[in-house]
């Protein structure tokens, strides 16, 4: 009498399970990439719209406090406060340009100059605004590379002008003033007096250089057009998913 062989168990479909795990990993990676891309696309637009709206609301509130309620319309008109403040600044500038306006400004500065704390704040703000808004000079003239903090390590700086005065006389060299900003806050940094021959000028604009510093190198100017280009997200390589034998 023949003995029947024992029943064999079906082998697990290892190939199908492995494919499902790989497809799941790819789907998760693509989903993460799509999420990051959506944030990169929508975040700048959303933040810009929000900041613009807050500025409009601030000017709207300022205009309502400056204008009598009987002259201000009850209907909310977007941008009306900005126009009112803009026209008010033009009128103030026109009045200041006259003899009476200049006399009033000098008297006000003389009074502020006698106040210990207010004097320092007022003089610092005035110097910054005159440097940034003056028509006869620019705050920064060129974006350059300087070797800092040691040789063969380069940093992005902004040339503010040639070195003059006592520093130029003491060193007796052709130097330039280079402002070396910090990342991501470019309002702080270091002032360097660098020999003109040790400075490497760049073709990017001042705005592109500031974007480069603020972004920490993420936003870089384009090679051909000079337009800033955001580095794309690197493609995700599917992990090596292995099923136990």
Residue 131 has a pLDDT of 60
Cβ atoms of 59 and 85 within 8 Å: the answer is yes
Residue 209 burial (CB count, 10 A): 21
Average pLDDT of the residues of the chain: 77
What is the per-residue pLDDT across 23-46, written as a single tens digit (0 to 9) for each?
Answer: 878 878 888 888 888 888 888 888
Cβ atoms of 162 and 177 within 8 Å: the answer is yes
Residue the block writes with tokens 């704390």: 117
Mean pLDDT for 190-216 is 90
The full DSSP string for 24-49 is HHHHHHHHHHHHHHHHHHHHHHHHHH
Residue 142 β-bridge partners:
159
HSE-up (13 A, CA, CB side) for residue 142:
14
Cβ atoms of 105 and 126 within 8 Å: the answer is no
What is the per-residue pLDDT across 215-242, written as a single tens digit (0 to 9) for each?
Answer: 888 887 765 444 444 444 344 444 444 4
The pTM for the full model equals: 0.46
HSE-up (13 A, CA, CB side) for residue 217:
3
**Which residue, among 166, 164, 172, 155, has the nearest Cα to 209 in the 3D structure?**
155
Cβ atoms of 63 and 84 within 8 Å: the answer is yes
Fold type of domain 142-222: SH3 type barrels. (2.30.30)
Each domain of the chain, given as residue ranges in start order, spans: 14-82, 98-133, 142-222
What is the per-residue pLDDT across 133-174, written as a single tens digit (0 to 9) for each?
Answer: 654 445 678 899 999 988 889 999 999 888 988 988 888 889
Cβ atoms of 178 and 199 within 8 Å: the answer is yes
- Percent of the chain surpassing pLDDT 90: 12
């Amino acid at each position: 009498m023949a003995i029947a062989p024992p029943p064999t168990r079906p082998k697990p479909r290892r190939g199908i399970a492995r494919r499902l795990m790989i497809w799941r990993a790819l789907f998760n990676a693509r989903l993460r990439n799509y999420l990051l891309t959506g944030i990169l696309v929508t975040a700048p637009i959303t933040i810009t719209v929000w900041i613009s709206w807050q500025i409009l609301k601030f000017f709207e509130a300022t205009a309502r406090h400056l204008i009598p309620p009987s002259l201000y319309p009850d209907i909310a008109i977007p941008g009306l406060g900005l126009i009112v403040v803009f026209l008010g600044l033009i009128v103030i500038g026109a009045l200041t340009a006259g003899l009476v306006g200049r006399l009033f400004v000098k008297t006000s500065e003389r009074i502020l100059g006698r106040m210990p704390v207010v004097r320092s704040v007022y003089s610092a703000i005035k110097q910054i605004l005159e440097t940034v808004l003056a028509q006869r000079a620019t705050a920064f003239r060129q974006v350059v590379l300087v070797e800092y903090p040691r040789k063969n390590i380069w940093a992005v700086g902004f040339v503010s002008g040639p070195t003059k005065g006592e520093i130029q006389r003491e060193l007796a060299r052709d130097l330039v003033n280079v402002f070396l900003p910090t990342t991501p806050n470019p309002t702080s940094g270091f002032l360097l007096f660098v020999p003109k021959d040790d400075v490497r000028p760049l073709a990017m604009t001042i705005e592109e250089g500031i974007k480069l510093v603020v972004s920490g190198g993420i936003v870089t100017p384009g090679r051909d057009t000079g337009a800033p280009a955001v580095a794309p997200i690197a493609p995700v390589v599917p992990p090596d998913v292995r099923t136990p034998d």
